[in-house]
Structure 1
Amino acid sequence: MSAAVGIALTGSGAATPARVVTNGELSLWLDTSDAWICSRTGIAARRIAMAEDSLESLSSQAARQALERAGWRPDQVDLILLATSSPDDLFGSAPAVQAALGADNAVAFDLTAACSGFLFALITAAQYIRSGTYRRVLVVGADLLSRWVDWQDRRTCVLFGDGAGAVAMEAAPESWEGLLAMVMRTDGHRRSCLTMAHQATSQVLHDQLQVGSGGFQPIAMDGQEVYKFAVQQVPLVLTQALKQAGLTAEHLDWLLLHQANERILASVAQRLDIPAAKVLSNLKNYGNTSAATIPLMLHEAVAAQWIRPGHLIASSGFGAGLSWGAALLRWGRPEAA
């Protein structure tokens, strides 16, 4: 095992289903309106997976783009981490992504932490690189939560969309640090605020044996409690991360939060005194894509050249668990900065 090394974030990718569902279309069967949804969430539309779409295909598309932008061959990937709460296969979808990419030398496994999943996976990947265990890691965040909502519950179904995003991370000179600070938190006492809980149905095998057959309830959320949790805790972990790195909010080029609610984004930015021009948001077009929101927005910003090599990004994920965390990221390779 080699000595500790630096980390570089070198490629990004994203993929979403083709089908767009607007707020107006939701109002065809829900007691809601575009004005009601926009005023409370900032969401105008979302991408929804059709029956023929799969988490594997979207994840593979996003990962392939990240590979190409990083300049890697598939056989050079050492590890694939897939952050998702909605795999195609409960045993894990990361191996299917590995096979689709032809990344036959890579270890691949899923990581589940809901809307915090991508950030937690990014931090996990960094530890493998830092220790010298692996040199090239693909981190994918993907979810198809539209398959797990109650489409008659306007409190939740209007919020979620589907998508995938990916980031390529690689070893760099020790002087270059793509992950300057990190904070992760969990409060299981508040887990009931946001759930997609197991619900067993009874199956009688014979007169003395009755077993449970697996299934899950639709997403259930206490929106007010999740909102209060986010606006209270996210500024705290971001402040802790900045303190770890010996930086202040004035040093930041961008604030990239989990895209859950426009009011949360605005509130966190205001508490940290970050100008609105530095807050990245695509929530209007995609809704809450859970583990995909951060890498999806990151890829859009990199592709548009808003985020450039050397830029400092403060990011935070938060959601079910309840879980939350923050990371300070430096984009790009040292030679490009």
Structure 2
Amino acid sequence: MVQPGLRDRSAVIAGIGSWLPNHVVTNEDLAAQLDTSDEWIRSRTGIGTRHVIDEGMATSDLAVEAGSRALKSAGCPDVDGVLVATTTPDRPCPATAPDVASRLGLGSVPAFDIAAVCSGFVYGLAVASGLIALGALERVLVIGADAYSTILDPRDRTTRAVFGDGAGAVVLRAGHADEDGALGPFDLGSDGALADLITIPAGGSRQRSSPDRPVEREDVYFQMQGKKVFKNAVARMSESAREVLGRSGWTVEDVDHVVAHQANQRILNAVAAELGVPGERVVSNIERVGNTSAASIPLALVDAARSGALRPGDRVLLTAFGGGLTWGSTTLRWPDVVPLGR
């Protein structure tokens, strides 16, 4: 039962930031190494460039940079909790979030990782919103950060063409549901029966690698069954989006911007067509950054807000799909915040 004083309490976006590593890999760079071309990549993915981390960098470095910008955007030096959504933690153990919190100078606040692959940022928003609504925390830093270049098979032209590295973050504060920036209802789901569609087979407790029991080379890298992923991504994001719009009391016509996980331009186009949303309302930055997994939605939000396409009061639909399989959506009216990117 919700305490009377917390009944109208909601999580509100108070700041947002993003960061991309310096190193840019073009389609021409990949074509010099693999059997591919700029035309092949663009026609199948819509991607022209992607950013990758340099030797010696890790996911936590991306997360700290994006997190510091989100904190500055919010005008607050500290928060009560840190959530890091990632598929590429610095180590299998411990979680990456406590290290990020420490490096940001946030002291001993609760911090933990969320593993929902490309849906991780939306899952993180939902978890943080719940903690705020219950009164457990007042301000939460939610970061989506991934360094997919560290888990891709260097010989696989498909995955190397699609994925890039980056991080995006928001600061959520306690507020009211009628404020701009207040996160609306959430729709979340999963289907573990299709876990093998997006996976890294080795490295966990099921298939551990050791000198006495080596694993197949390809099993240590990210694997994806593209055609089946495409079909499920379009269906799940469309279904989830419709569900959350209904819970919000919105129609598709009410939505000013759809910010979907930047998986593939063809997927974005198919989701828009399935929902009946005009293409100009679908935010896309995938041509420049590729698929950045958990970082993709906050990166797209920062880019749209900095360009002026996303304005205070605009109605925004967020929807994501990732390995697990997982998916999730939510809605909000865009707040008057200053986005800080690289």
TM-score normalized by the length of structure 1: 0.92
Shift in Å, 1:124? 0.7
Distance in 2 between residues matched to 1:174 and 1:257, nearest whole Å: 22
- Secondary structure of 1:141's counterpart equals strand
How far off its partner does 1:202 sit?
4.1
Paired with 1:116 and 1:165, the residues of 2 have a C-alpha distance of: 13
Question: SS where residue 33 of structure 2 aligns?
Answer: coil
What amino acid does structure 1 have at the position aligned with 2:47? I
Deviations along 1:294-328, one digit per CA (max 9) or x if unpaired, are: 01111112222322222221111101111111111
Does 2:39 correspond to 1:39? no
- Structure 2 matches for 1:167-182, cutoff 5 A? 167-176=170-179, 178-182=182-186
1:222 is aligned to 2:230:
no
Q: CA deviation at 1:175?
A: 3.6
**What do the CA deviations read for 1:64-111 (whole angstroms, capped 9, x no partner)?**
11111111112xx00100000101122111111111111115211111
2:43 & 2:214 partners in 1: Cα distance? 43
Indicate if the aligned counterparts of 2:49 and 2:290 stay in contact, CA closer than 8 A: yes
Separation in 2, partners of 1:265, 1:134: 34
Shift of residue 150, structure 1, vs aligned partner: 0.6
SS of the residue 1:298 aligns to: helix
1:333: how far off? 6.2
Matches of 1:42 and 1:110, distance apart in 2: 30
User: Is the 8 Å Cα contact of residues 266 and 276 (structure 1) preserved in structure 2?
Assistant: yes
Contact 2:311/2:336 (8 A) holds in 1 = no
Q: Distance in 1 between matches of 2:161 and 2:101?
A: 32
Report the residue type matching 1:88 in the other structure: D
SS of 1:179's partner is coil
Map Cα deviations across residues 270-289 of structure 1 (whole Å, 9 max, x no partner).
12111111111110011111
2:160 maps to what in 1? Answer: 157
Structure 2 counterpart of 1:327 = 330
Partner of 2:147: 144
Structure 1: gaps of 5 or more residues: 205-210
Letter in 2 for 1:155: T
Match for residue 201 of structure 1? 209
What is the SS of the residue equivalent to 1:264? helix
Give the counterpart letter for 2:87 in structure 1: S
Query: Structure 1 residues 307 and 105, CA, compared in 2 at 3 Å: closer, same or farther?
Result: farther
Give the secondary-structure state (helix, strand or coil) at the position aligned to 1:25.
Answer: helix
Give the match's secondary structure for 2:159. coil
Q: Which moved more, 1:53-62 or 1:123-132?
A: 53-62
Structure 2 CA distance, aligned partners of 1:81 and 1:93?
9
For each residue in 1:1-51, what CA deviation from the matched residue of structure 2 results, as whole angstroms up to 9, or x when unmatched?
A: 752312211111011110000011101111000000000000111001111
Identity fraction in percent: 39
Tell me, in whole angstroms, the C-alpha distance in 2 between the residues paired with 1:331 and 1:104.
Answer: 30
User: TM-score of the superposition, structure 2-length normalised?
Assistant: 0.91
RMSD, aligned α-carbons? 1.9
The answer to whether 1:85 aligns with 2:93 is no
Partner Cα distance (1:332, 1:8) in 2: 8
Q: Deviations over 1:97-136 (max 9, x none)?
A: 1111111152111111100101100111000111111110
Q: Is the 8 A contact 1:138 1:168 kept in 2?
A: yes
Residue 23 of structure 1: aligned partner: 27
Give distance in 2, aligned partners of 1:305 and 1:128: 31
Aligned residue pairs, count: 325
- Alpha-carbon distance between aligned partners in 1 of 2:60 and 2:221, rounded to the nearest angstrom: 21
- Check whether the contact 1:78–1:105 (CA below 8 A) recurs between aligned residues: no
Distance in 2 of aligned mates of 1:106 and 1:63: 14
Mapped partners of 2:108, 2:211: distance in 1: 42
- Structure 2 CA distance for aligned equivalents of residues 174 and 252 of structure 1: 18
User: For the Cα contact (< 8 Å) 2:10–2:129, is it kept in 1?
Assistant: no
Corresponding residue for residue 235 of structure 2: 232
Conserved? CA contact 2:68–2:104, under 8 Å = yes
1:45-194, aligned counterparts within 5 Å?
45-74=49-78, 77-90=79-92, 91-176=94-179, 178-194=182-198
> Tell me, which stretches of 5 or more residues in structure 2 are unaligned?
338-342
Q: 1:14 corresponds to which residue?
A: 18
In structure 1, the partner of 2:340 is none
